[in-house]
Every structure is written in structure tokens, then in C-alpha cells.
């Protein structure tokens, strides 16, 4: 039976965004820390005297300056008991979770080394960028001992909703869902596109589920990915077929064997795009490896950015490529080309993929099979686990 749709929260249902609360909650203890802000720019010379503010297309970087940099410099740092607040820009990588360059530019236009002048000199690093830097920063955090957060794709909706929540509550809700899914042997996901059914089976081999819950507490080196709110696995295998929507709207069917996408077949759209995708799979097969299966845990409005929209309860995403930041084995050195070493989320949601429906997602654990998602709504099993009233 199809679950009754959840009555979703709107922007008006959230408290006013409070940067002091966000930083103080996510990074407790925060007192005594030295804070730095990183942004990415296609032209790093625009970092000098904050010239990038003159470019209206750089909305993410403007938010970094207006919401984070100015707030810290205009009294918030003192209130939080932190120092610093300096901003640095590095050359944008051009892809999700690609390794970062070491050179960056400060606000005077001076070139600096991130390793020598940032990673080793600051306790908290906030990366507010166009392209996600979670994977490389997680590796650097463990190497150099800092904490931080990645907030790529930041926009007004995310500030008003996904970053306005209390992450202590988010963590508790994510833990409820983690316990409901942990130690799964596999997940079976049924997709529908143009009245045709496809199924993808993802093996998890009884592993402990992990959660992205937004808290980066204590002094343990770590990176929070904000907005947070998901339960995820690093698959041990995968097989079957699933539809995928490219950024330009092109639709193709991905065939998965032995844990990797092996070929894509065009359904509609740009044939050259699918040909290029298949060429990359051929010359660098690990680019097709299924490196993550994630389930959203939060009741959030659609933001138009995957960083928030993949955290919405009732959605799921798979990811290909790099997985070392999640505890997986696929590191950048295993790719044939450096620029292929991305971690790319493939989000399935009513807003992102209206043409593709997740008819049902089932968890297999021992002798038990539980429906967890149906038609982009959480099942009664999940609703009961997280304390929501089950649908009738």
C-alpha cells in the first residue's frame, strides 16, 4: 500500500538562521579555536581586495563573504571565543571531491601554501565552494589535525532551512534511522522510467550503517558536510540496471556488474554525452564503481542544490567514484587520470528526477525484508523507527 505523503515543512516553519548557534553547536567545543574560510574561484586573482564580489555569478562565494567572513570579523568571533576568520581562495577543481591545489590567494593578493599557512595554522576550516571538497579536506584533516565543514552550493534556501536547524536534533534523528538500517545485507531498488521497470541490487554485507549528522565535536580531526542528515553505506557490490539523468536532462540506462557501471544506453537526449560517458568507463573503469548508497533523514524544503536535497527524507542517492572519505577503498591514485577521481552523487527525488520514480526500495537483513521507501515516501517501517506516525 502506498504510504500517505508526509506534510512537508516550508521555509516559514524553520527558526531564523543563527550562525553563532550553528558554529557553536557543530564544533563544540569551539572556544580558543582559530578559524579560516576557504572559497574556490576560476580566477583566483579576484580574491585580492575581494574583487570577486563584483561578479554576480559568484553567489556562493558572496555568501561566504557576507554571512561567514563579515560576521566573524564584526563581532561573532569574539562572542564565540575564536580568532582568525581570514579568507583564502584556491583554484576551483572543476569536479566534485577532486584533490585540491596547494596554492591559494589571500585578500592582499599574496600566494600562500594551504598546507603551510592554513592546514597547519588553523583549528577550524570552513570551505564554502562551488565544487564539493569533502573528500580531500577529510584526508587533510586527518593528516594535519584540524576540524571543519564543507558547505558547497550554499544559497538562501539552505541558509534559511538546512543550516537553521539544531544539529543535535538532526544527529538524534539520523541515529534512529541508522539503527533501522544498520547491518543490512543488501538493498533492492525498483525504478520506473517511461513505464519500464529496472532494478538495482546493492550489497552491503551486514556492515554498520554510517551517518552524516553535522556534528564535529571534541578535538578529533573530522569534516562535517553541511547541510547534513543522511544514513549511508559503502557498497561491497552491486548489480542490475538503473536509469540516470545527466545534468542537461539526458536520460540513459546504466548497466551495473560486479559493483561498477559498465555501460550506459541512451534513452533520450544527447547521444554524444552518453558516448563520452562510455568512453570514460572504458579507459578508466573505476569511475563507474558504486561507492555509496545514501538515504535522506531530514524534513527539508527543496533547495535546488543536491547538497541539501539528498538529505530529504524519502530520497535516496547512489554515488560513483572516490570513496576513501567514507571509509571505502577507492583513493585518487587508483584512477587512470587525476581529473577522473571524483565522487559524484546521483540523486533520485521528485524535484531532481521527476521522470524517474523510485517505486520501492527494500532492505534485506537476514531472513527479513523491509520496504524502506515507496514512491519517494518513507515506509511505515521507517516512520515507526524515527518516531513519525505511520501512514494508514
Is there a contact between 129 and 152 (Cβ–Cβ < 8 Å)? yes
Q: Is the pLDDT of residue 392 over 60?
A: no
Burial tier of 197 (Cβ tally within 10 Å: 0-12, 13-18, 19+): exposed
pTM exceeding the 0.85 threshold for the entire prediction = yes
Mean pLDDT of 9-35: 97
* Predicted local confidence at residue 390, as pLDDT: 66
* Predicted local confidence at residue 3, as pLDDT: 77
Query: Angle, nearest 10°, between helix axes 19-26 and 167-181?
Result: 50
The predicted-structure confidence for 25-69, as pLDDT tens digits, reads as follows: 999 999 999 999 999 999 999 999 999 999 999 999 999 999 999
Q: What percent of the chain has pLDDT over 70?
A: 99
d(CA 37, CA 23): 13
Sheet containing 210-212, strands listed edge to edge, beginning at the edge strand earlier in sequence: 210-212, 230-233, 290-296, 316-321, 343-348
Fold annotation for 17-160:
Rossmann fold (3.40.50)
The CA-atom distances, in angstroms, between 222 and each of 315, 326, 327 are 26, 12, 13
Mean pLDDT of 312-319: 98
The predicted-structure confidence for 85-107, as pLDDT tens digits, reads as follows: 999 999 999 999 999 999 999 99
The predicted-structure confidence for 195-241, as pLDDT tens digits, reads as follows: 999 999 999 999 999 999 999 999 899 999 999 999 999 999 999 99
The predicted-structure confidence for 341-377, as pLDDT tens digits, reads as follows: 999 999 999 999 999 999 999 999 999 999 999 999 9
**C-alpha dihedral sign at 318, 320, 322, 323:** positive
* Predicted local confidence at residue 388, as pLDDT: 76
Mean pLDDT of 137-152: 98
Mean pLDDT of 110-118: 98
Assigned C-alpha cell, 37: 574560510
Is there a contact between 375 and 348 (Cβ–Cβ < 8 Å)? no
Domain with CATH 3.40.50 in the chain: 17-160
Is there a contact between 251 and 243 (Cβ–Cβ < 8 Å)? yes
Dihedral pair phi/psi, residue 291, rounded to 5°: -105, -5
Mean pLDDT of 65-77: 98
d(CA 154, CA 124): 18
Dihedral pair phi/psi, residue 338, rounded to 5°: -60, -40
DSSP state of 298: B
Mean pLDDT of 276-280: 98
d(CA 284, CA 351): 31
**Which residue intervals of 109-206 are DSSP H helices?**
114, 134-144, 156-160, 167-181
Amino acid at each position: 500500500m502506498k504510504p500517505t505523503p508526509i506534510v512537508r515543512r516550508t521555509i516559514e516553519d524553520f527558526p531564523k538562521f543563527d550562525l553563532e548557534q550553528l558554529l557553536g553547536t557543530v564544533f563544540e567545543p569551539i572556544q580558543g579555536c582559530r578559524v579560516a574560510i576557504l572559497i574556490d574561484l576560476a580566477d583566483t586573482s579576484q580574491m585580492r581586495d575581494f574583487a570577486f564580489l563584483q561578479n554576480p555569478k559568484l553567489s556562493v562565494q558572496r555568501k561566504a563573504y557576507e554571512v561567514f567572513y563579515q560576521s566573524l570579523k564584526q563581532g561573532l568571533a569574539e562572542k564565540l571565543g575564536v580568532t582568525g576568520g581570514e579568507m583564502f581562495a584556491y583554484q576551483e577543481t572543476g569536479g566534485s571531491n577532486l584533490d585540491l591545489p596547494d596554492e591559494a590567494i589571500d585578500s592582499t593578493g599574496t600566494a600562500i601554501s594551504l598546507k603551510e599557512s592554513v592546514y597547519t595554522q588553523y583549528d577550524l576550516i570552513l570551505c564554502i565552494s562551488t565544487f564539493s571538497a569533502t573528500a580531500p579536506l577529510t584526508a587533510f584533516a586527518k593528516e594535519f589535525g584540524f576540524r571543519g565543514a564543507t558547505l558547497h552550493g550554499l544559497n538562501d534556501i539552505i541558509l534559511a532551512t538546512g543550516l537553521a536547524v539544531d544539529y543535535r536534533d538532526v544527529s538524534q534523528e539520523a541515529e534512529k534511522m541508522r539503527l533501522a538500517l544498520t547491518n543490512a545485507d543488501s538493498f533492492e531498488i525498483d525504478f520506473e522510467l517511461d513505464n519500464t521497470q529496472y532494478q538495482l541490487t546493492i550489497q552491503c554485507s551486514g556492515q554498520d550503517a554510517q551517518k552524516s549528522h553535522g556534528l564535529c565535536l571534541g578535538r578529533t580531526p573530522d569534516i562535517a558536510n553541511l547541510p547534513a542528515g543522511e544514513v549511508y553505506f559503502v557498497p561491497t557490490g552491486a548489480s542490475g540496471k538503473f536509469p540516470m539523468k545527466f545534468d542537461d536532462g539526458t536520460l540513459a540506462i546504466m548497466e551495473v556488474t560486479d559493483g561498477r557501471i559498465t555501460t550506459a544506453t541512451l534513452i533520450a537526449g544527447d547521444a554524444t554525452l552518453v558516448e563520452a560517458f562510455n568512453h570514460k568507463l572504458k579507459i578508466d573503469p573505476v569511475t563507474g564503481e558504486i561507492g555509496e548508497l545514501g538515504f535522506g533523514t531530514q524534513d527539508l524544503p527543496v533547495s535546488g542544490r543536491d547538497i541539501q536535497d539528498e538529505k530529504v527524507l524519502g530520497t535516496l542517492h547512489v554515488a560513483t567514484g572516490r570513496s576513501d572519505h567514507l571509509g571505502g577503498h577507492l583513493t585518487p591514485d587508483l584512477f587512470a587520470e587525476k581529473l577522473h577521481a571524483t565522487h559524484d552523487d546521483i540523486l533520485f527525488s521528485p524535484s531532481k528526477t521527476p521522470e524517474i520514480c523510485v517505486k520501492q526500495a527494500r532492505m534485506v537483513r537476514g531472513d527479513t525484508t523491509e520496504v524502506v521507501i515507496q514512491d519517494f515516501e518513507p515506509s511505515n517501517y521507517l516512520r515507526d523507527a524515527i518516531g513519525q506516525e505511520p501512514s494508514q
